[in-house]
Amino acid sequence: MSNTEVPDFLELLADSRTQQKAFSLLVNQYSKPLYWKIRSFVLSHDDADDVLQNTFMKAWKNIGDFQGKSKLSTWLYRIAINESLDFIRHQKNNSTVSADKGMGIAGRLIADEYFDGDRGQALLQEAITTLPDVQRTVFLLRYYDEKKYSEIHDILGTSEGALKASYHIAVQKISDYIRKHQ
């Protein structure tokens, strides 16, 4: 879906006769990239699926509020990131202790049938989870998605200077974590 198609697509979404079909197309187009963005935050396949579903439910509920001032993909990414961060906060605040909590994130990732990385990749993911929300988000968008700071600014609404500082600090923290845990 290119940027030039967005107004026509929004018209389809606004029309009650074509709304469901248009939203189905949106889900088909964005499910995979949003899933992988969410998965970089949540790590677990099942949790990522749940957050993805919540993302699309929130998008469906609020599609009338989308004004087309940004790309539709930027709007969806923002919803997915916010839903991912809400999920992580909820997990941290949840008082129940998981049976595999002592295994650590790296151990749980290696045991996950959907994880295809090695110990180094699992350690990197573990280091990323120790970052504060903003640093984690900036790092993931810049490092994995190779987004420009201007694109990250559009998603997060933070100044490019602050984004560069957050990325630099995140890289330093991750490097220190990996050196300490190797």
Q: Is the pLDDT of residue 51 over 50?
A: yes
The residue type found at 1 is M
Alpha-helical runs (H) found in 43-142: 45-62, 72-93, 104-111, 119-129, 133-139
Rounded to an integer, the average pLDDT of 131-157 is 91
pLDDT for 49 beyond 50: yes
What pLDDT digit, counting tens, does each position of 97-124 carry? 443 443 455 555 555 555 556 667 778 8
Percent of residues, the chain, with pLDDT higher than 70: 82
Q: What is the pLDDT of residues 12-42, one digit of tens each?
A: 877 888 888 888 999 999 999 999 999 888 8
Tens-place pLDDT, residues 71-86? 888 999 999 999 998 9
Q: Identify the structural domains of the chain with CATH numbers, from first to last.
A: 1-99 (1.10.1740.10), 100-181 (1.10.10.10)
What pLDDT is recorded for position 95? Answer: 43
Measured between alpha carbons, how far is 42 from 85 in angstroms, rounded to an integer? 8
Q: Is 171 helix (H, G, I), strand (E, B) or coil?
A: helix
Q: Is the distance from CB of 79 to CB of 37 less than 8 angstroms?
A: no
CB 173 within 8 A of CB 127: yes
